[in-house]
Amino acid sequence: MTEENILIVTDIDHNTRILQLNRPAKLNALNNALLWQVADALIAAETDKNIRVVILTGNEKAFAAGADLNELKDVTAQGALTDSRLKAFEIVRRFTKPLIAAVEGFALGGGLELTLSCDIAIVAEGAKLGVPEVKVGVMPGAGGTQILPRMVGKAMAMKMALSAQFISADEALSCGIAAEKTKQGGALEAAKTLAKHISRNAPFAVQSAKASILNSFNSSLTEGLQYERARFAVLQATEDKTEGMAAFLEKRPPNFKGS
């Protein structure tokens, strides 16, 4: 398999784009090439007005089973600080449109960190999630020790990172990593259904709500409320606000244009 087809990009109905990690022989291990294809695809989706939601998925055996150790085994201390993969993860986290992870099978190490970098995770029965990096002499290095405790709390994050134990789909749902659990093989279809619901709403309002929620993780309550009100105020001058209010009062479906 060449490096050109390790990410499959497909546009479907409801202004949705699917990015499928496609290194099945490696359980979608995240090498530099794959991570940057994901990052570049998100950069392209960012400016595509026809795309309102992006779904990131793998295959039935693995969302992504971690970093590619064939690359990481020779990384030096200095190299770890300048690793371009960190920039790719940052691009994922800074993507302004809704990003849904549809997880089947393994989501481990960098694969779980990629899941955590998405806005919403839908996890299928039989999935195994974890940050087992300590088993190979390192630790989570792409946000795992920072994002995970913000989502699941200190105790669960410590248990996962220090023991290297995996958690199930049920545990991922109960601790807040997953928003929804589906039957095995059903994660992508559930993500498509959710994307359809999201895409029906005003795009700029959806992006503003996402930005406000993400901002809450890095601000005090007072600062967060101020940020929320500022985003709310900006929406009052949009065409979509005018259209949405009129459509509701006229009892018809809105025609949102993202402006």
Q: Which residues are catalytic?
A: 67, 110, 113, 133
**How far from 83 is each of 32, 54, 137, 153, 211, CA to CA, in Å?**
9, 26, 18, 28, 27
Which segments within the chain are labelled E, that is strand? 7-12, 16-21, 53-57, 62-64, 99-103, 106-108, 120-124, 128-130, 180-182
Our measurement of the distance from residue 221's CA atom to the centroid of its chain's CA atoms, rounded to an integer in Å, reads: 24
Question: What length is written for the chain?
Answer: 259
Structure tokens, 207? 């992006």
Least Cα distance to 207 among 9, 15, 38 occurs for 15
List the end-to-end C-alpha distance of the chain, in Å, as a whole number: 42
Distance CA 229, CA 92 (A): 26
What's phi and psi for 40, nearest 5 deg? -65, -35
CA distances from 137 to 21, 69, 132 (A): 26, 12, 10
Whole-number Cα distances in Å, 141 to 24, 86, 166, 254: 24, 8, 18, 44
Beta carbons of 140 and 129 less than 8 angstroms apart: no
For residue 129 the two structure tokens come to: 């999630």
